[in-house]
Amino acid sequence: MNRFAVIGSPIKHSLSPRIHTAYAKQLGIELSYNAIEVPEADFEAKLAILRSELQGANITLPFKERAFALADRASEAATQAQAANTLVFSDGNIYADNTDGSGLVRDLMSSLGLQIEGARVLILGAGGAVRGVLPALLHQNPKAIHLLNRTPAKAQALVDAFQDARLSLFNEQTNTQTFDLIINGTSAGISGEKPKIPDSAFNRDSFVYDMLYSLNDLTPCSEWSREKGLKFSDGLGMLIEQAADAFALWHAGQRPNTQAIRDELRAAQP
């Protein structure tokens, strides 16, 4: 039986085993998929063992950059992101991919029916999560993507790294235009903090997408959006779609239908 796992720290509450098991059942594939917690200092040593025991792994916080660094070969998405959320182990090699961006884009476009082409997009945050999704978002031809981060120098470093005329820093002092899509890519919500989105950035048609998700409550970002009367979504759909992309990579392109697991997990939400 083929074996897979999600590796991270913390990992206890990961939904990935449930999602991959559901996909496998749907497609009649036998596999095992576990969540493996690895202490921060031990990632490389543990992966050296797991790579011979598993056929593939999902990598989550805080190891995505270190996983990319261990790869022998990498997809364009992983290379642009300098981070991997999906590894394939075969013939003694590690292949790295990053399906976070494609997962986000599919959730935005197919599930939520949003148009990215021509849209003005504001992204909060400038860490690994944002870096990981920027290539896929830019690929959809938005009109502009502005980055707003607590530490502006980190946002500037991302703008410099991508060298794309559509990507720039958000400037609260000079901003006059609202955004069609606002994506929260900060980790502030984990500690219960609502996002700081300036009034000048949104109008009543703006859509707010939180890359964080919660099964039990609204995320702080979703709460903020509801208070402002804006349409919003958390990142559960992104998790489901990035998993489907990883699944297809591991199983010869067999792509699960994501609707059933989406319905099942959404039913548990408030």
Q: State the Cα angle at 219 between 214 and 222, rounded to 5°.
A: 125
According to DSSP, residue 227 is labeled H
Q: Considering beta carbons, is residue 186 or 214 the nearer one to ligand ATR? A: 186
As measured in angstroms, the least distance from the Cβ of 29 to ligand ATR is: 30
Asked if 64 is an active-site residue, the reply is yes
| Active-site residue (options: 64, 194, 196, 231) | 64
Provide CB contacts within 8 A for 136, sequence distance 6+: 77, 100, 101, 102, 104, 105
Q: Considering beta carbons, is residue 125 or 237 the nearer one to ligand ATR? A: 125
With CA atoms as reference, report the closest residue to 214 among 263, 264, 268: 268
- Rounded to the nearest 10°, the torsion over CA 249, 250, 256, 260 is -120
According to DSSP, residue 257 is labeled P
Provide CB contacts within 8 A for 211, sequence distance 6+: 104, 129, 133, 183, 184, 185, 235, 238
Q: Considering beta carbons, is residue 222 or 258 the nearer one to ligand ATR? A: 222
According to DSSP, residue 109 is labeled I
Q: What is the rounded distance in angstroms from the CA atom of residue 70 to the CA atom of residue 49?
A: 13
CA 102 from chain center: how many Å? 8
With CA atoms as reference, report the closest residue to 195 among 170, 215, 165, 160: 170
Take residue 66 and report the two structure tokens written for it.
Answer: 């270190």
As measured in angstroms, the least distance from the Cβ of 151 to ligand ATR is: 3
Contact present, 168 and 112 (Cβ < 8 Å) = no
Number of H helices, E strands in the chain: 10, 12
| Shortest-Cβ-distance residue relative to ligand ATR | 127
Q: Considering beta carbons, is residue 2 or 156 the nearer one to ligand ATR? A: 156
As measured in angstroms, the least distance from the Cβ of 132 to ligand ATR is: 8
Q: Report the interface residues with ligand ATR, using CB under 6 A.
A: 61, 125-129, 149-151, 154, 186-188, 193
Q: In this structure, what are the phi and psi dihedrals at residue 204, rounded to the nearest 5 degrees? A: -75, -10
Q: Which residues are catalytic?
A: 64
